[in-house]
Structure 1
Amino acid sequence: MSSVKLKRHPINKRKKTQRSLFQKLGVRRLPPFVVILGLCVLLLWGSFHNNALTSNLSTLFDTTMAHIGFRLEDVVVEGRMRTNKEQILTKLELKRGIPLLSINLFDAKEKLESLSWVKAARVERRFPDTLLIRISEKEPIAIWQNQNKTYLVDYDGELVETKEANKYKELPLVTGHKAPEHVGQLITLLEKFPAIKARVTAAMHLRSMRWDIRLDEKVDIRLPEKNAESALEYLLVLENRHHLMDREIMTVDMRIPGQLILRLTPAAMQRKVTLGKDV
């Protein structure tokens, strides 16, 4: 939980005419609940007349609420890890001293959820003077490269447009038009095979709705569209028995059930042709 500093709003520098108006209305001498009730009645009455009157009464209501103490003095944010606090204040246009009741909570929620890192937001008033913001942020699981741009992607395929994607080099790089939609399923699958997942450096989602994954930045594994889990189980057995990843192999094609096709590196192929030796 963090508290955000607010700039002072001009409402605190009241003009004499405003003060005299409050004094004439007897605001200082009336209990707050009486003032609030009276203004609510006025607003309800004004809503049946004209927009200009309603607007004036609404302004009077907000100003009076601030006058009797219901003005914004503090903003408390929970769940913020990556979202910049200045972004929050700028997005919501918050300043210290504005009437607490003038803040539209629904609009504030929508504005917060438009920020890159924010997945969901909840905004509450805590009387007399605090705005409580609870946010949940997106957790990146991969970096999506598309048309020379990079985005962070979370489990649900939501994107985080950031210039700091290079700080997440430990995440696999994924490509493919629909990669963000399906990368969560891929990561869930790979989590069943930690030894393989730890070596995945990139993945490509194909139009045929399957994945090619790259291990150790050198070996491409072509997974089948169906039964990819069984293919990974078999790959793990082969790796444990024959150490495929340590050999001069460029591609392991597992797309056809019951078949395994290995493609050697160009150097290994040349040596095999020249010397007639296996790698």
Structure 2
Amino acid sequence: MCAVRSPREDYAPSRIAYRVNRLWLSPVFRVATLWLLPMAVIGGGAGLWASQPGSQELIQNVRMAVMARMRDQPDFQVKQMAVRGASPELTREIRRVLALEFPVSVIDLDLDAIRVKVSAFDAVQHVEAHIVLGGALMLDVTQRAPAVIWRNAGGLALLDEEGHRVALAERRDAAPELPLIAAAGAERAIPEALAIVAAAAPLRDRMRGLVRQGERRWDVALTGGQVIQLPETGAVEALERVLAMDEAGDLLGRDIRIIDMRNPARPTIRLGDEAFAYLKTLRGLEKG
């Protein structure tokens, strides 16, 4: 007679099976098991293979072969360079400094290095370098515009309206249309100098230039040795006052050497030699 198997008392799953089943119902666990874990295994294996010296040499050889093949492709050849926004003189200097020999592969062109070299020019305010369709290197240059010519201890230089050097000049007549400023510190007060020049438009034919005094204020130098000394603040207003006096009484047409406006409340003048001698004679006659 066969023994009768006793029935199982509990048909519920084990605790481990229950927890695994609950985890499998979680979307995060399923994604991690089905995707992230295989990807990590594959990535780890690929990284382990790539870390071997033989594998690295193989990768390097393949990369060099691909790069060499791309260099020979006509679509990757740059055949010429165009410079836009620069003067002919600046364009020639840019070509000379870059010294690029065309055709050249786009892979061998370092656009960042080209930007750095072109930006080093005094006359260049900003530059963009990019490759355009047709195989051309395009340089878009924003060139500084000279606003004044500055005479300093080192010679003559053209400056823009912000005081940045644009170029060197050998002679004053290299830019006769630009106002002349002189002395140390003048390059740091270009906006004020331009405002004074604009206010002195009625004296344009007689104006020789502006001289910075003590890096604090300006003197207006006129032909005939006349000088208008302006204050540290309110220079434009002081000059306009001198122009008003000149219009009313031909002040600048007289034998006056210096008009001192450093104290706008007490303007003073210094006579020329002839005017001073004449005044001295008049005073002698009055005493006699």
Q: TM-score, normalised by structure 1?
A: 0.71
**Compared CA separation, residues 163 and 187, structure 1 to 2 (3 A):** closer
Contact kept, 8 Å, 1:213 with 1:222, in 2: the verdict is: yes
Indicate if the aligned counterparts of 2:83 and 2:139 stay in contact, CA closer than 8 A: yes
Partner of 1:10: none
CA distance in 2, matches of 1:232, 1:111: 44
How far residue 192 of structure 1 moved from its aligned partner, in angstroms, is 4.3
Q: 1:230 aligns with which of 237, 241, 261?
A: 237
Determine the C-alpha separation between the residues in 1 that align with 2:268 and 2:180: 25
Structure 1 counterpart of 2:146, one-letter code: P
1:77 to 83, 90, 102: 83
Structure whose residues are more often helix by fraction: 2
Structure 1 gaps, min length 5: 1-44
1:169 CA displacement: 2.4
TM-score between both structures, scaled by the size of structure 2:
0.69
Q: What is aligned with 2:213?
A: 206
| CA-CA distance at 1:66 after TM superposition | 4.7
Task: Name the SS of the counterpart of 1:186 in structure 2.
Answer: helix
Instruction: Give the match's secondary structure for 1:162.
Output: strand
With over 3 angstroms needed to count, the CA separation of the structure-2 counterparts of 1:264 and 1:237, relative to structure 1, is same
- Which residue of 256, 262, 269 corresponds with 1:249? 256
> Conserved in 2, the CA contact under 8 Å of 1:151 and 1:165?
no
Number of residues of Structure 1 aligned to a counterpart in Structure 2: 231
Query: Do the aligned partners of residues 146 and 189 (structure 1) sit closer, same or farther apart at CA in structure 2, a change above 3 Å counting?
Result: closer
TM-superposed deviation, 1:127: 3.0
Change (3 A) 1:109 1:147: same
2:146 alignment counterpart: 140
Q: Distance in 2 between matches of 1:168 and 1:111?
A: 27
Looking at structure 2, the residues matched to 100 and 192 of structure 1 have their Cα atoms a distance apart, in angstroms, of 53
Distance 1:252 1:175 in 2: 19
How far apart in 1 are the matches of 2:150 and 2:104?
Answer: 41
Contact 2:159–2:167 (CA under 8 A) maintained in structure 1: no
C-alpha distance in structure 2 between counterparts of 1:146 and 1:154, whole Å: 15
Q: Does 1:124 align with 2:130?
A: yes
Does the 8 Å contact 2:126/2:141 carry over to 1? yes
Structure with the greater alpha carbon radius of gyration: 2
Gap change, CA 1:66 and 1:233, over 3 Å in 2: farther
Cross-structure match for 1:111: 117
Segment of structure 1 superposing worse, 216-225 or 192-201 = 192-201
Q: Quick one: distance in 2 between partners of 1:225 and 1:59?
A: 69
Please tell me whether the aligned partners of residues 70 and 128 of structure 1 are also in contact (alpha carbons under 8 angstroms).
Answer: no
Q: Map of 1:111-190 to 2, 5 A cutoff?
A: 111-166=117-172, 167-190=174-197
Higher relative CO (CA 8 A, sep ≥ 6), structure 1 or 2? 1
The CA deviation at 1:57 is 4.2
Q: Does 1:68 align with 2:64?
A: no
With over 3 angstroms needed to count, the CA separation of the structure-2 counterparts of 1:217 and 1:174, relative to structure 1, is farther
Task: Give the letter aligned to residue 126 of structure 1.
Answer: V
- Does structure 1 conserve the Cα–Cα contact (< 8 Å) formed by 2:195 and 2:236? no
| CA separation of 1:195 and 1:111: change in aligned 2, threshold 3 A | same
**Cα offset, 1:85, TM superposition:** 2.7
- Checking the alignment, whether the CA contact within 8 Å between 1:116 and 1:162 is kept in structure 2 is no
Q: Specify the code of the residue in structure 1 equivalent to 2:101.
A: K
Equivalence map 1:45-60=2 (5 Å): 57=63
CA contact (8 A) 1:144 1:151 kept: yes
